Structure 1
C-alpha cells in the first residue's frame, strides 16, 4: 500500500452517489496523545454505510504488510452517514508503552452496500480508502536516513530504498539521472514510503545500459523536501 488516502475499485452502481470525503488524509499522533480523529463527510444525497478497520503497517522483503491490531482501535467501526453529514471516527491507543521509533498503522475505510439492498445488474464499484497513521515516540527521532540501491531483476530494474532512521520517509517525485545527464522519471507523484528501520523496493523502467558508465543519481521529494543522493549498483 502506498500512500496517503487512495481507493481501489472493488465491486456501487455506475450512477453512484458522491463518494466519501476524508480529513485528514494522513495522521501524526504525538507520543503523549491517547486519541485522535478522522472526519468522514458524505456530500451525496443518500446515506453512506462504512466499515473502519485498523492494521499494523510494516514492511518485509521490500513490500508492505498489514496485520490486524488492537493497539489502535477505531470507534465506531461501523457507521451510517446521513446525506450531507459528517461523522467523526476516533482512533484510540490501547497501549501506552513508549517506543524508540515511529510506529505505522493503516486505517482501511470501506464503503458498504446499503443493508438489504436488492442485487443490481451490471458492474458495481465499492471504494476503499487507506489512511496512514504514525505514532511518534517521546524522544526526538530526527530525519529518515536513506540508502538507495539499483539492481537488475529478471523482468525489470528494482529500486530499493533502505531507511536506517527512526522516522518514515514519504518518497515522491523520483527521478534517476545517469552519468550523461539523461533523466528518467520514475514517478511524478507519490511513490510510497520507506518506514523507520525498514526497506522498500519498486520496479522501475530504465534502459538496459543505464548504469554502464557508472552509478546513477536520484532526485526526489522526501517528506516534501527536495533531496539528492547517489544510487548504489548491485
Structure 2
C-alpha cells in the first residue's frame, strides 16, 4: 500500500514539474507582428512588418523565408531565393518595436499565385549574431515561433471554388472543395444546415490554386440520403450551398 502511494506521489510530482515546464515555455516568448500576412506583386514588390516585444526581457528574433507548396492536401516547405527578408536577426528590447523588410525578386508577370511562409523564431538571449546560431548545439531551445503567409499574386486574381459531397464506405459523408482559381482561398468555417445549424469544422485551412481539401462529417444531424446543405465562410465571403451526395468516390482531380 505504501509502495503504491509512493508511486502515485512520484507520478504527481513528475506531472506537476512537467506542467510547470510547459507553462514556463508558453510564457517565455512574448512578441507580436503587424500585419500577420503579406501580399506582393510585380508592381508592389516590397513590404514591411512591425515586430513588437510585449515581454519584460529583450527578444532575439530570427527571420527565415521558405517556399510553400501543397500536394495532396499536405504542406511542403523548401528554401527559396524568390523572397528575401532583412534583417535576418533582430534584437528587440522590452516595449520596443523593430521593422523587417520583405520583398520578392520576381520581376515577370505571373498567372498563378506563389506562396511562401515567413518564420519568426524567438531564440535564447545568448544568440546575438547570425554566426552564433551556427555555433550552437544541434538543438536550440525555441521560445516562440510565428508562421506568417507571404503571397506573390498575379495582377488579375481569379478566386473560384468547386464543392462536392459523397457517401463513404464507413457510413460517413465527405465534403471536398477544389480551388479552380489562380489564388489561394482560406476556409474559416463549415456548417451543416439541417433542422438546426451545426458547425462541423472551424478549420482555417488555406487551399492553394488547383489543390483540394476534404472534410469528413462524423456527426450527421438529419442529413438526407441524396443532398446536404452547408454554409461556408471563407476570406472572400459566406455562401450557402446545396450539394448532391454522390455514392461514388470523389474524383482525385
Q: Please classify the TM superposition score into its range, dividing by the shorter chain length.
A: 0.7 to 0.9
For residues 134-145 of structure 1, the aligned pairs below 5 Å read 134-138=151-155, 140-145=156-161
Aligned partner of 2:210 in structure 1 is: 197
Aligned partner of 2:35 in structure 1 is: 24
State the distance in 2 between where 1:73 and 1:113 align: 24
Residue aligned with 1:64, SS: strand
Give the direction of change, closer, same or farther, for the CA distance of 1:160–1:26 in structure 2 (3 Å limit).
same
Give the direction of change, closer, same or farther, for the CA distance of 1:150–1:89 in structure 2 (3 Å limit).
farther
Report the CA distance between 1:12 and its aligned residue.
Answer: 8.2
Aligned partner of 1:5 in structure 2 is: none
Give me the CA root mean square deviation.
2.9
Residue aligned with 1:13, SS: helix
User: Greater relative contact order (Cα 8 A, min sep 6): structure 1 or 2?
Assistant: 1
Residues 1:147 and 2:163 are matched in the alignment:
yes
Aligned partner of 2:226 in structure 1 is: 214
Aligned partner of 1:85 in structure 2 is: 96
Aligned partner of 2:146 in structure 1 is: 129
Residue aligned with 1:33, SS: coil
Paired residues, what number?
A: 213
State the distance in 2 between where 1:15 and 1:219 align: 35
Aligned partner of 1:172 in structure 2 is: 188
Report the CA distance between 1:56 and its aligned residue.
Answer: 1.5
Give the direction of change, closer, same or farther, for the CA distance of 1:216–1:65 in structure 2 (3 Å limit).
farther
Report the CA distance between 1:67 and its aligned residue.
Answer: 1.9
Give the direction of change, closer, same or farther, for the CA distance of 1:84–1:130 in structure 2 (3 Å limit).
same
Report the CA distance between 1:17 and its aligned residue.
Answer: 5.2
Q: Which has the higher strand share?
A: 1
Residues 1:184 and 2:228 are matched in the alignment:
no
Give CA-to-partner distance per residue, 1:58-93, whole Å, 9 cap, x none.
Answer: 211122222221110111112211111111111121
Q: Which has the higher helix share?
A: 2
Aligned partner of 1:40 in structure 2 is: 51
Give CA-to-partner distance per residue, 1:165-187, whole Å, 9 cap, x none.
Answer: 11211111211235xx4543123
State the distance in 2 between where 1:99 and 1:186 align: 36
Give the direction of change, closer, same or farther, for the CA distance of 1:15–1:134 in structure 2 (3 Å limit).
closer
Which of 10, 15, 24 aligns to 1:13? It is 24
Q: Which runs of 5+ in 1 are unaligned?
A: 1-10, 117-123
State the distance in 1 between where 2:185 and 2:144 align: 27
Q: Which runs of 5+ in 2 are unaligned?
A: 1-21, 128-140
